[in-house]
């Protein structure tokens, strides 16, 4: 299957084909919902999405490797080396060495004219994770999410294609990336606490008499304090509004890409449904969408994707 996708994408160089294969393996192993949605794209689009995921995963692994012998300074240096190699390859035109994720993402960025600045903003937010463990307010969190989530949507946009000028669709693509990350923040409060991080605005938590100590009490006892439940419900409502805004941008995408993004939005937003249905008991269980439901959404999306590809004109923005 991957061979036919690479053929459709016009990737013929053996080393580059292997680089894309490695990125696809990373997506399949670690991004289950995202990978499933990617299957709804046309074959020629999929390798680029895998490459973008593979690069993001490489940076994320630097941060989340729990090896106690690797401190913040070493991780920062590793991220800087990654940023330098990407800049040299993408802007200066040097080689990528033996790094498959880098080779694939550089090829993708050149093919789709994805700006270096988007990758630079992404890596800047990754560096923040080395030193920033709390966010005092919404603007501070928004600053982090621009690089960690919104730019992912913006990187994806030229691959997906649009029926309007790209800059018109950009705010909605950015919002969808943010909605996905806000969903993860809610679902993973307990897991993030174990890493010493809280990705919820401190002032909005404080309005419900919640701080890090209260969250740690919930983590230790595997219980959701009523104050925390109210705070999470408020964050839940904020995230819903971001999804509502992002959803209106799907019609701006190329018809063949809409089923993929619609399926991803549906499945991620249903994680919010699950958080609400378990009454915010996120310290004792993980909110997730079942395999059967994911497959039903994917099958429906696949039918719509086939139909749209048959009706979509050649070319695109």
Residue-wise DSSP of 133-202: --BSSHHHHHHHHIIIIIHHHHHHHHHH-BSS-HHHHHHHHHHHHHHHHHHHHHHTHHHHHHTT---SBH
111 and 155 part of one domain: no
Q: What is the mean pLDDT of residues 84-112?
A: 86
As for how many domains the chain has, the answer is 2
The predicted pLDDT at position 305 comes to 55
Question: Cα 88 from chain centroid?
Answer: 25
The predicted pLDDT at position 167 comes to 96
Six token digits for residue 255: 């018809």
206 and 119 part of one domain: no
159 and 66 part of one domain: no
Residues paired with residue 273 on neighbouring β-strands, in sequence order: none
201-236 CB burial, b ≥16 within 10 A, e <16 = bbebbeebebeeebbeebbeeeebbebbbebbeebb
pTM score, whole prediction: 0.88
Rounded Cα distance between 71 and 84, Å, is 20
Average pLDDT, the chain: 88
292 and 215 part of one domain: yes
Q: What is the mean pLDDT of residues 100-110?
A: 91
49 and 117 part of one domain: yes
112 and 233 part of one domain: no
75 and 158 part of one domain: no
124 and 195 part of one domain: no
- Residue 111 placed within a domain: yes
Six token digits for residue 222: 């595997």
Rounded Cα distance between 188 and 195, Å, is 11
Give the burial class of 12: count Cβ atoms within 10 A of its Cβ; 0-12 exposed, 13-18 middle, 19 or more buried: exposed
1 and 61 part of one domain: yes
- Residue 141 placed within a domain: no
- Residue 6 placed within a domain: yes
φ, ψ for residue 78 (rounded to 5)? -65, -40
122 and 184 part of one domain: no
The predicted pLDDT at position 317 comes to 39
272 and 160 part of one domain: yes
- Residue 316 placed within a domain: no
The predicted pLDDT at position 12 comes to 93
Domain that holds residue 171: 147-308
- Residue 140 placed within a domain: no
The predicted pLDDT at position 71 comes to 77
Rounded Cα distance between 56 and 118, Å, is 12
183 and 123 part of one domain: no
């Amino acid at each position: 299957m991957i061979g036919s996708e690479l053929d459709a994408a016009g990737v013929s160089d053996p080393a580059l084909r292997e680089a894309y294969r490695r990125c696809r393996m990373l997506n399949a192993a670690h991004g289950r919902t995202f990978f499933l949605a990617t299957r709804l794209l046309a074959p020629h689009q999929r390798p680029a999405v895998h490459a973008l995921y593979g690069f993001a995963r490489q940076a994320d692994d630097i941060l989340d490797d729990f090896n106690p012998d690797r401190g913040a300074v070493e991780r920062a240096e590793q991220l800087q080396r990654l940023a330098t190699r990407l800049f040299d390859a993408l802007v200066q035109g040097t080689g990528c060495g033996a790094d498959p994720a880098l080779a694939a993402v550089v090829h993708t960025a050149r093919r789709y004219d994805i700006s270096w600045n988007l990758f630079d903003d992404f890596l800047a937010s990754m560096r923040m994770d080395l030193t920033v463990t709390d966010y005092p307010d919404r603007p501070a969190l928004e600053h982090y999410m621009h690089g960690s989530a919104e730019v992912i949507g913006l990187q994806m946009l030229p691959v997906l294609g649009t029926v309007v000028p790209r800059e018109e669709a950009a705010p909605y693509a950015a919002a969808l990336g943010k909605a996905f990350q806000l969903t993860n923040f809610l679902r993973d409060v307990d897991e993030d606490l174990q890493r010493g991080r809280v990705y919820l605005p401190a002032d909005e938590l404080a309005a419900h008499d919640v701080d890090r100590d209260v969250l740690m009490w919930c983590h230790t006892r595997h219980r959701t304090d009523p104050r925390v439940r109210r705070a999470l419900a408020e964050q839940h409502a904020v995230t819903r509004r971001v999804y509502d805004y992002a959803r209106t941008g799907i019609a701006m995408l190329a018809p063949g890409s809409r089923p993929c993004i619609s399926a991803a939005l549906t499945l991620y937003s249903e994680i919010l449904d699950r958080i609400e249905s378990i009454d915010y008991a996120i310290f004792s269980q993980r909110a997730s969408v079942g395999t059967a439901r994911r497959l039903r959404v994917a099958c429906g999306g696949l039918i719509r994707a086939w139909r749209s590809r048959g009706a979509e004109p050649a070319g695109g923005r």
